[in-house]
Structure 1
Amino acid sequence: MESPRSCSGIPRRRIPNQNLLTRLRRRQLVACYPGTHWHAARQFNECIFPNFTVVNIEKPATFLRKFSPDGRHFIGFSLDQSSLEIFEYQGPCLIAGLVRATRDPIELKQNIFKTAFRLKCVTHVAPEREHLNRECSLFAENGRYVVVASAALVPDNPYPFVHEVNQNNESLPPTARSPLEDYTLHIVDLHTGLLTDSKAFKCDKIFLPHNQGLYLYDDTLAVLSVQHQTIHVFSLVGGTFVAVRRIGRFCYEDDEITWMTSSVDRCAPHKDAMTNALKHRLLTHVWKTEASSSSSRARLFFKQFDYFEQLRIWKMQLLDSRLLLLRYATEDVVLLKHPDPNAQASLFVVYDMETTRVVAMYDNTSEQLYDLFVRFADHFRNAVPSNRPQFTCSSSSNVHAHHSQLRFKKTITKAKYGGPSEAVKRLLAQLPISAQSYSTSPYLDLSLFSYDEKCVSVLERPKACGDFPIKFFSRESGLLKFRLHTEHLGTQVNPAVAAMARRLVAFTFHPTDPFAVSVQRVNGEYVVSFHFRVFGCGNADWI
């Protein structure tokens, strides 16, 4: 019998059985601990994974976006960005069957998209002049509805009136880098393909890419108007927008009525000398918590009063149905005049919409806020808009993600011009977090697989594409499980041009199945690849 120890006396690592049938048998005979069913079931993904890649497939003239949270639908935008295209996902079994039945690689690449997705409907959404934003979509009611946005530049002739551009005394001046646009939010029913409701915002500035200006928590939708420094809160009821409140110049719903009936001399909103109500709540909080304790702190408050007055809301997110996390910065940062805006000073404010009070305030070098972010990262993400257990692979719920974040902090701390405060500032730059921007695929779970986070991560953002496949190793056994090929560009892109250009790849993983879509862009050219499971594919793992 082989000794369990090597010659050097170091105990050998025992690799658990990787056979799928053995694991299924063990699941029948051995019950898991109470409350661990989801984690035990998730471990089966170490046996069933996307082990085959088809590169440079033929697809319809569509900008591919993402899967719905239930995984049944896949949405994309038409080439003219006026319509929403809804596809029904057919499952990985049909794709694997097509691979086994097709001998010609060219025929396979021509038919694989039609096998994986069936076009359900094409819904014309964008009104005249407006175009849908390809990086903005929010799913509501567990994937029943999707919220998309369209925008168009405000024409110079005729230019809008002053009271339309400046709706209050904190409205920002339009700039070339931040021009005014007309926006429209749309709700589309994925089951029927019907446009159920739309909401227009004229002469405004809303950051649509990556859902930065929108946030959806359950059925509560918040929209940040950067131009008018106003937060619009809606409730999504049956696929329609129901206005709940507007936070900015006024905080309560009846504040404007009270102001209109008062004896105060009224003037145009942009000429109003009164402090914005939301800004007034912020100043009041600073005075009560910091300045009123001593005369020296009071003098410092009055010295910095103009700085607080000039702050503007840059980003926001919903922490729950009543708490807002707001990020304030100077006007130059909000208007995108700084090349590195996250390096500038900013304030994080937690605001209660029900009581209209500021609950807490932190600067962007606050160790206290960083500690809260590390310990309760899942509460900041709200990644899964459904009742399923959340596996967000964050620093608060995954030891490997926590160690990765600590390594990043240590690197910034020891770097030139770095330090502890600079490291905290870099990490807090993630806040506020955009809605539905993290993948819940089990193949990106760092407790199951180890991979290069510089090439792919749970954050759904384009990554730099390398010259080698992305390798996924099992955490349990340390064995190489599968590879995602992104280095083969196919025939559409000139190899000489591809070698000189910076290549980016964006992955879209199915929420549960061993299936992923990758889109590479090289000098304006798009190459789409499918990564899926095929049994008995042999040594070849890509075409």
Structure 2
Amino acid sequence: MAYENRLKSQNLVHLLQNRESGYTNVGQQPGRMPLLAYERPFYKCITPCLTIDSITIPPIYLRKFTPDGRKLLAFSQDQRSLLIYSYGGSSCAAVGELIRQADVGSDEFFSRQDSILKSQIFERLFPAKETLNLCQGDFGLYYLHREFSVFLEDGRYAMLAAMTVVRGALPVEDYVRYPDLFDKVDAFSYVFFLVDLKLGVVTDRLILPNDSIVIAHNHGISVFGSTVMMMSRLHQCVYVYWVNDGKFHQQETIGPRPRDFIEKATTDFDNLNATTVLPITHIKQRVLSFQYRQINDKSGNPTDSQKSFYKNFEYIENMIMERMHLVNDELLMLRYEERPKDTDTMPIATSPRRLYVFYTITGEEVVGVYPEYSINLLHILLQFNEYMSNDRSLQFGDAPSLPMHFFLRHTFADTNESVSVDRHTALRFNPSVPLSSQSLSSSPYLKFNEFKYDSRYVSPLEQPHRCSNEPIRFIDRATDSIKFRLHATARRHLNPMAPRELCAFIWHPFDPLVLSIQKCMNSYVYHVHLYNHSTIVEK
């Protein structure tokens, strides 16, 4: 048997020695191996194996850990304040004393009623550090969006968003400044706060009145380094900002017109009406030009490619920008979808047609256009998945991965499957991009190449999943043994007529600690999953 295929030692002492010495087997692609890859096997022995059921927490909404894992962010119940909790480790003396007093023993699941462990474990794990009242004074009508947070400068700053409903019609000038304006969406007024987590102060505010940005789960925001991009569904453009020393600096607006374009639009707004034809936007003009250049016909006879281009010309002209992803400081990925028709009174059951566009920021050029069924796009996403995911773990240096990436890479990437199978796979996988910024957990326990688990109930995506009827098992791929279980099972019997019970997980970036939140209608139940050296995992 080849040496690299042999079963590596699972002894904890050996793993500790490897971690201490820095030993790692870089394999055939050292450039892709993270700096601290030797720490991954170590986490198979130190796992969040103990579940403490139904713990008591303050009346807050938990958000997520900072990238360095030292703080936990939460929002007040009225969604007007930010609460910052410090984290000293799941093995600190205060937590260990509580577990010893509760006489947990070797069980994986602790559910004893009226226990001091349940009532005090949260405040022992997370002592309160700061409370910042953000929505007050001039922003008293705003409320914080509890599904949005973006970290900048390795977690030094946190970007939060507050919003309020806007009443009234859009200014007429907007229809000229933004020719592709999509006024079928609800408009809000936004305030983005930049919070210095080290000093506990608000360093800057950015106000965007009368706009529509999808900020749930960071969908409409993309970050790379110090560059922050926001996609406006209303104005169909991308705002570019640069963050430096805790301040927002506006760079440019991508979409309506090229950079340094001399404004020649009419200023006679009184003559505008529903029949006024406005010029095509800058990016769409580049998309059409790119597609036309792909047609290579020297005979002068119309080809299928030319017929397809002219047939889809009006369709592309009327598409709307729905998603955006900043791949790096130079490349932007956009997803266009079919614009809903004015006659549509009910949502369309079928998925809309999509078009994926790669756009260079400096050169203002379109370098790639792919339909949603493109096999070439699927291969690009599989080959450059880690590169396109600009989120990186501060501890390991590698990018979070999704179970679907693992499955496709091992099933289709290196095989000669038929075109029909690849096309079907592309139709299923391509709509999952662009990726939302900082929406994947970097926990080593979610590495699908190290652990096997049911991705229907838990995944690196920081979104709620439906509850499982059984504890979620995490199985070591090397030994095929159960390493730990997450006991967050549904509390009600499955009933098609009853409301669906959901569960969200907040993973620590590197510690064996998980917070799970179960929700059914307006009822919340919280659990904590942590490492306990006395716990024995049943095989």
Range into which the TM-score falls when normalised by the shorter chain: 0.7 to 0.9
Select which of 134, 140, 147 maps to 2:152.
140
1:241 counterpart = 2:248: yes
Which residue of structure 2 aligns with residue 6 of structure 1?
Answer: none
1:197 counterpart = 2:209: no
Which residue of structure 2 aligns with residue 322 of structure 1?
Answer: 330
Could you tell me whether the CA contact under 8 Å between 2:473 and 2:482 is conserved in 1? Answer: yes
Q: How large is the Cα RMSD of the aligned pairs? A: 3.3
Q: Deviations over 1:507-543 (max 9, x none)?
A: 11111100011111012211111000111145799xx
Which residue of structure 1 aligns with residue 171 of structure 2?
Answer: 161
Once the two structures are TM-superposed, the CA of residue 108 in structure 1 deviates from its matched residue by: 1.1
Select which of 463, 466, 470 maps to 2:465.
463
Moved more, 464-473 or 13-22: 13-22
Amino acid at match of 1:54: I
Query: Take 1:390 and 1:29, find their aligned partners in 2: how far apart are those partners?
Result: 20
Once the two structures are TM-superposed, the CA of residue 107 in structure 1 deviates from its matched residue by: 1.3
Could you tell me whether the CA contact under 8 Å between 1:347 and 1:363 is conserved in 2? Answer: yes
Moved more, 447-456 or 139-148: 447-456
Which residue of structure 1 aligns with residue 109 of structure 2?
Answer: none
Which residue of structure 2 aligns with residue 273 of structure 1?
Answer: 278
Which residue of structure 2 aligns with residue 50 of structure 1?
Answer: 48
Which residue of structure 1 aligns with residue 101 of structure 2?
Answer: 101
Q: Which residues of 2 match residues 72-91 of structure 1 at below 5 A?
A: 72-91=70-89
Q: Which residues of 2 match residues 449-528 of structure 1 at below 5 A?
A: 449-487=451-489, 489=491, 500-528=498-526
**Structure 1 unaligned runs (5+)?**
1-12
Q: Which residues of 2 match residues 383-394 of structure 1 at below 5 A?
A: 383-384=391-392, 386=394, 388-393=396-401
Select which of 262, 271, 283 maps to 2:288.
283
Could you tell me whether the CA contact under 8 Å between 2:12 and 2:42 is conserved in 1? Answer: yes
Could you tell me whether the CA contact under 8 Å between 1:383 and 1:439 is conserved in 2? Answer: no
Which residue of structure 1 aligns with residue 121 of structure 2?
Answer: 112
Once the two structures are TM-superposed, the CA of residue 42 in structure 1 deviates from its matched residue by: 1.7
Distance 1:30 1:196, change over 3 A: closer
Q: Deviations over 1:242-288 (max 9, x none)?
A: 11110122221x21xx225xxx7554499573222222222222222
Select which of 169, 172, 176 maps to 2:182.
172
Query: Take 1:394 and 1:331, find their aligned partners in 2: how far apart are those partners?
Result: 30
Which residue of structure 1 aligns with residue 263 of structure 2?
Answer: 259
Q: TM-score, normalised by structure 2?
A: 0.85
1:428 counterpart = 2:430: yes
Query: Take 2:101 and 2:395, find their aligned partners in 1: how far apart are those partners?
Result: 39
Once the two structures are TM-superposed, the CA of residue 31 in structure 1 deviates from its matched residue by: 4.6
Distance 1:29 1:241, change over 3 A: closer
1:214 counterpart = 2:224: no
Query: Take 2:60 and 2:497, find their aligned partners in 1: how far apart are those partners?
Result: 26
Which residue of structure 1 aligns with residue 161 of structure 2?
Answer: 149
Distance 1:291 1:87, change over 3 A: farther
Could you tell me whether the CA contact under 8 Å between 1:145 and 1:188 is conserved in 2? Answer: yes
**Structure 2 unaligned runs (5+)?**
104-111
Percent of aligned pairs sharing the same letter: 28
Distance 1:15 1:352, change over 3 A: closer
Query: Take 1:538 and 1:102, find their aligned partners in 2: how far apart are those partners?
Result: 17
Query: Take 2:371 and 2:383, find their aligned partners in 1: how far apart are those partners?
Result: 18
SS state of the match for residue 379, structure 1? Answer: helix
Query: Take 1:24 and 1:385, find their aligned partners in 2: how far apart are those partners?
Result: 21
Aligned length: 505
Query: Take 2:497 and 2:235, find their aligned partners in 1: how far apart are those partners?
Result: 45
Moved more, 302-311 or 145-154: 302-311
Q: Deviations over 1:273-310 (max 9, x none)?
A: 32222222222222222377655255553443221211
Once the two structures are TM-superposed, the CA of residue 22 in structure 1 deviates from its matched residue by: 4.1
